[in-house]
Structure 1
Amino acid sequence: MKKFLFGILLLLGISCMDTTSKDNPQLSFYYWKTTFALDQVERETLKNLEVRKLYIRYFDVGLKNGAAVPITPIVFKDAVPLLEVVPVIYIKNDVVLSGQLDVKKFAHQLVDFVQQINDRNNIDSQEIQLDCDWTLTSKERFFALIEQLRKETDMKISVTIRLHQVKFASKTGVPNVDRGVLMYYNMGRIASDSLNSIYDRQIAQKYTSGLKDYPLPLDYALPIYSWVVHSRKDQVVRLISRLRVADLTQQAYIRQSGENQFTVEKEIEAFGFVFQAGDILKVESIAPAQLKEMTTDLYQASGKTPKEIILYDLNSKNITTYDQEIFKEMVRRK
């Protein structure tokens, strides 16, 4: 009898452990370079974090002489690790708005080009993701494209969702896809002021009230990237990707004038650009505590646990900025 009772308790214990495990989101990454080649840090990160899925930007779509064409398609220099690959296609809004766009033909071309890339690189995808910031004027064409894609492929279809598309869902519409990925970044205005355009909690909380009632299953994409806002006379000159405070402190004639702000003291060339005396360089990045804050706020606002949290993006410079325990804590529900 004692052995029988012990067996029941053991099974219940295993069952409880499995249930707890299923409640935790899976951790995934976006890969957003035009060449696929993983370095040692990136490979070890995928292994250590037990990543099962990688969202790879396959190509952008823009207009050339009025026609929709692929831009900078991905080139695979390395074989993809043994995990699921989701091709991501970034479609510029003007493509969807183009009066010359044949939606049926375009859908066929998208699926065909994805399949060509997969065939060349021995990749078997189960899902395609579209990244398009559709608007009130383009939503009908974009939603029609989704319907046509469903006829062209058996793969699941997901789309990226912006915060404003959640808050104003009754106006912007809800796409007929298998799921969405909420892009929880790029919230503010890119400017020379002290605000962080990548993430602002106060701005975010103005838009998250609609999460509980949003009818589409949502996963969350969170930022681990950084950039520098280069300004001259209070006007933004450019964004410089993947620079952090440590990069600027190592440069002569660039003086730190605030926590995340630097002033150029004389005309110099650095990071492939020319800077003039008086230029202001503002570093925008995400602190570890902010990542945990994001997940807490999203869970509370939605009342749901997503199946995935996707970090943007897989790059050794981004990864080494953080203790990887932070990534594990983000998906560990207490």
Structure 2
Amino acid sequence: MKHIYWFFLLIIFSSCQKEVQHDYGFYYWRSNFDLSKDETRLLNQSKVPVLYTRFFDVQKKGNAYEAVGVLQKKHENSVSKKIVPVIFITNETWYKISKKDITFLAQKTTDHINNLAKKFDFKLENEIQIDSDWTKSTKDDYFLFLNELKRISKKDITSTLRLHQVRDKKTMGIPPVKKMYLMCYSTSSPLENSDKNSILDLTLLKAYLRDLENYPVKLDIALPIYSWGIVTNHLGKHKLINAIKTSDLENKNFEKINDNMYKVVKDDFYFGMYLNKGFEIKVEEVPESDILESINFIDTKLNYPYHIIYYHLDNQFTQHYKNLIK
């Protein structure tokens, strides 16, 4: 009888547990800042008070450092949210960089952010997010840059965090920031010959985040709401086509090989690219169920409320996730 009592008590307790609700926000990752009416509506109804907006990338060219892919704004397009500038910096930027150049780069990054914000009339949050896939050999210089950027900009500096940097935190180090954004996507390279989903592989995610509760920095969680097609030519070389879904290939121009693999039936232009007969297209999508499973898993690891930041705000993607974004 005692076992039965505890069994029913457990059922009652479980039924009283409320599903954890997380406020969500968005990344904006397009090269031109121009929100549609639907995108503006989705942004305004989200409870996270900022929009994480990619401003530019930084790369090393010879002995110089340059900003590339700088955000453009061709139309008057205001948003009610404050903007958090996101700067992607290639890992190669940190190779053999001097302390003097680190300070120089921090100053130039700050200046460029402020100039763009003034040009576009953005209201900036007191935060700059840096996205860089640092390694064991570059971590010291990257961490120094984060400190220099904080000193020069007088802003709160945050950083992205990749899955392998969680798993290997002892060798990869912990960035000197108070908050990070865990990127639960790009779990492998899309250019590898693999039957795995390179955008989000749940088995890999769970393995890499097995000890997530021990990560010493507070996290928000970035999750993917995008898709693409991986084109393989006759020589085995790969290219990506953005925003393809399986439904785009369910027609006479493509032969279905399996659930997410198709073969081009005739030479022609498809999705803005010329494809030859026999080229194969692997479609990678992220179903809502996989995102929900990711959230449920992370909820078992983190005992504090966190925000979900969806990558990224674009109606061609958001329209397929209406149960998540509502």
* TM-score (ref. length: structure 1): 0.86
Alignment pair present for 1:241 and 2:242? yes
Deviation at 1:71, TM superposition (A): 0.2
Paired position in structure 2 for 1:12: none
Q: Show structure 1 runs of 4+ deviating over 3 A.
A: 48-51, 98-101
Alignment pair present for 1:75 and 2:72? yes
Paired position in structure 1 for 2:31: 34
Note the residue ranges of structure 2 that are not aligned, 5 or more in a row. Answer: 1-17
Code of the residue aligned with 1:223 in structure 2: it is P
3-state SS, counterpart of residue 291 of structure 2 = helix
CA distance in 2, matches of 1:172, 1:26: 30
Code of the residue aligned with 1:123 in structure 2: it is F
CA distance in 2, matches of 1:223, 1:236: 25
CA distance in 2, matches of 1:98, 1:30: 31
CA distance in 2, matches of 1:253, 1:233: 18
Code of the residue aligned with 1:197 in structure 2: it is S
CA distance in 1, matches of 2:101, 2:78: 33
Paired position in structure 2 for 1:157: 157
Paired position in structure 1 for 2:45: 48
Superposition CA RMSD, Å: 1.9
Alignment pair present for 1:25 and 2:22? yes
Paired position in structure 2 for 1:312: 311
Paired position in structure 2 for 1:120: 119
Paired position in structure 1 for 2:95: 97
Code of the residue aligned with 1:117 in structure 2: it is L
3-state SS, counterpart of residue 117 of structure 1 = helix
Deviation at 1:51, TM superposition (A): 4.7
2:28 touches 2:54 (CA, 8 Å); kept in 1? yes
Paired position in structure 1 for 2:199: 198
CA distance in 2, matches of 1:97, 1:118: 29
CA distance in 2, matches of 1:121, 1:245: 37
Per-residue CA deviations over 1:33-52 (Å, capped at 9, x if unaligned) read 11100112211211333452
1:188 touches 1:203 (CA, 8 Å); kept in 2? no
Paired position in structure 2 for 1:299: 299
Deviation at 1:321, TM superposition (A): 1.3
Deviation at 1:271, TM superposition (A): 1.4
CA distance in 1, matches of 2:49, 2:76: 18
2:187 touches 2:199 (CA, 8 Å); kept in 1? yes
Paired position in structure 2 for 1:3: none
Per-residue CA deviations over 1:183-207 (Å, capped at 9, x if unaligned) read 0011124234432111111111111
Code of the residue aligned with 2:118 in structure 1: it is D
Deviation at 1:123, TM superposition (A): 2.1
What is the aligned length? 305
1:192 touches 1:280 (CA, 8 Å); kept in 2? no
1:27 touches 1:309 (CA, 8 Å); kept in 2? yes
3-state SS, counterpart of residue 325 of structure 2 = helix
| CA distance 1:321–1:120, shift in 2 (3 Å) | same
CA distance in 2, matches of 1:162, 1:254: 35
2:44 touches 2:81 (CA, 8 Å); kept in 1? no
Code of the residue aligned with 1:231 in structure 2: it is T
Overall identity of the aligned pairs, in %: 28
Deviation at 1:24, TM superposition (A): 4.1
Code of the residue aligned with 1:210 in structure 2: it is D
CA distance in 2, matches of 1:265, 1:185: 32
Deviation at 1:291, TM superposition (A): 1.2
Paired position in structure 2 for 1:225: 226
Paired position in structure 1 for 2:217: 216
Per-residue CA deviations over 1:127-165 (Å, capped at 9, x if unaligned) read 100000000111111001011112102211110000111
Deviation at 1:254, TM superposition (A): 1.5
| CA distance 1:224–1:236, shift in 2 (3 Å) | farther
Deviation at 1:232, TM superposition (A): 2.6
Note the residue ranges of structure 1 that are not aligned, 5 or more in a row. Answer: 1-19, 329-334
3-state SS, counterpart of residue 74 of structure 1 = coil
Alignment pair present for 1:166 and 2:163? no
1:165 touches 1:172 (CA, 8 Å); kept in 2? yes
